Amino acid sequence: MNIENLEAFVYVVHHNSFHKAAEALFLSQPSISARIQSLERDLDTKLFLREGKTFSLTEKGKEFLPYAQQILQSYRKGKQQLRRNHTSMRKISIGSTVSVSSYILPEVLPRLKEQYPDMHIKLTTASSEAILEKVLQKEVDIGFVRNIGHPLVESALFYEDPIQLYVHRGHRFIEQPPVTLDELAGEPLIFFECGSLDWIKLHSLFETLQRPPVIDVYIDNQETAKKCIAKGMGIGFLPDLCAHKEVIEQLLFPVRIPSLASLTLRTNAITLKGEGMALRGVFLDLIRTSDIGTFVRSKVSINR
């Protein structure tokens, strides 16, 4: 049985799309279809029911799925073990989102190097989706991403960073904080959009208001967003961690809105199933004992 055919089957089920599975595996959609057909011939059974452009798993397909996932996982574990026998164990490859690379890892990596002075470290910064694929392809050992899942990946909450309203020096909200989102009506808003569910939730809350805030600028970069807020272009919502330095320097001022107390930016540590528990533990211990750990413990919930 061809392992690539099993991989195509698992990816199609996970993404619920032949097209998305093809993109994830860097293949054409016809190639994915051909691999599925080859697997069905090997098994002498239909795995999918196809109706036009839609499809669903057959009962046999549902029955076979957990075995396919287990076979693929075992193959990858064995492949990794063979690589370990021929390469140095003093290497670690890390993938992370921009926020983790900017605000967490500069505090954690020096401490990692102190504990393992001979270790070689490689850091890749990319989107959560790209880091997930790099973990699956064994291009990185551990990834720090938004809360996304995959059947071949284990995920653990790394930290939660509260999202708060931030204003510039001299803004009226510093002395008279708003009690509800309605009081933001008419305020020019700098909207930092990172694509996570919490940002989508915040945007959805705006749409329920009779007078939503005026979103003058959409920005996908935290550094740009907070500098624009500090310069007085508008007010905006930011994760606390990214604004920590500017708050100390009194360039930005957090404003608490009670109805948004549960809004957080969640980051998870992901590794391949059965391979990364110890590695996740190392990083969680490092962040707990780092300087930034004091800030994180006072503001957010950290869990292993």
Q: Are 230 and 252 in contact (CB under 8 A)?
A: yes
What's the total number of domains in the chain? Answer: 2
User: Do 165 and 106 sit in the same domain of this protein?
Assistant: yes
The sign of the dihedral angle between the CA atoms of 41, 42, 45, 51 is: negative
User: Do 74 and 143 sit in the same domain of this protein?
Assistant: no
Distances (CA, A) of 190 to 1, 13, 80, 217: 54, 39, 45, 5
User: Do 200 and 69 sit in the same domain of this protein?
Assistant: no
pLDDT digits (tens, 9 = 90+) for 158-184: 777 888 899 999 999 999 998 888 888
pLDDT digits (tens, 9 = 90+) for 147-159: 777 889 988 887 7
- Number of Cβ atoms within 10 Å of the Cβ of 175: 7
DSSP-H helix ranges across 104-190: 105-115, 128-136
User: Do 191 and 49 sit in the same domain of this protein?
Assistant: no
Candidate ranges 83-87, 162-166, 178-182, 191-195; pick with highest mean pLDDT: 162-166
Q: Which helix (H) or strand (E) holds 264?
A: strand 264-272
The last residue of one of the domains, among 52, 68, 85, is 85
User: Do 15 and 123 sit in the same domain of this protein?
Assistant: no
User: Do 142 and 291 sit in the same domain of this protein?
Assistant: yes
Question: What's the predicted TM-score (pTM) here?
Answer: 0.61
* Residue in 242, 260, 259 with CA at minimum distance from that of residue 251: 242
Q: Residues 6 or more apart from 167 whose CB is under 8 A from it? A: 173, 174, 229, 235, 252, 253, 255
The last residue of one of the domains, among 85, 106, 140, is 85
Say how far residue 128 (Cα) sits from the centre of its chain: 4
What's the domain range around 65?
3-85
The last residue of one of the domains, among 85, 103, 130, is 85
User: Do 73 and 121 sit in the same domain of this protein?
Assistant: no
Tokens of 289: 């004992």
User: Do 204 and 221 sit in the same domain of this protein?
Assistant: yes
* Residue in 108, 84, 79 with CA at minimum distance from that of residue 96: 108
User: Do 171 and 265 sit in the same domain of this protein?
Assistant: yes
Q: What is the CATH number of the domain that holds 254?
A: 3.40.190.290
